[in-house]
Amino acid sequence: MDTVLIIVAATLVLLAVVAVPQFLASRKRALDEAASWPAARPRVVTPEAVDADPCLRWLVDEACRQTGADLRKDPVALARLAEAADEARTRLQFATEHEISLPYLGADVGGPRHFQFKATRAAMERARAGIA
């Protein structure tokens, strides 16, 4: 019985002397690294930027048509649509179609507005060319 107590006491002392300080030092390093990362800032998209980018303009037009709301005046919706347009551009380089799903893109008296759209490479190319 005394041997078991000695082993338990030695293990606790070892943990207190070696393992706990190492763990605390690793947590401090992780927190310091996280503090040095740049803060995430929301993307600001102006109506001029929408007009300058044909793919984004196409996506905003589709979202306005589908939701029935004028999303050009909503900066949060424009930022989300710009992110979706960037992702669609990237995905459509390697695939022929990409599903865009933006729940709660806007809201009005009738309730929340969701945007569900299947973008195709051909439609994106037409939008870039200014045809669609």
Domain boundaries, the chain: 1-37, 47-129
Q: Amino acid letter at 76?
A: V
47-129 classified as CATH 3.30.70.580 = no
* Torsion angle, alpha carbons of 59, 65, 66, 70, to 10: 90
pTM tops 0.95, yes or no: no
As a whole number of angstroms, the distance between CA 84 and CA 114 comes to: 14
What's the pLDDT tens digit per position in 23-64? 777 777 777 776 666 666 667 788 888 888 888 999 999 999
Residue 129 has pLDDT above 90, yes or no: no
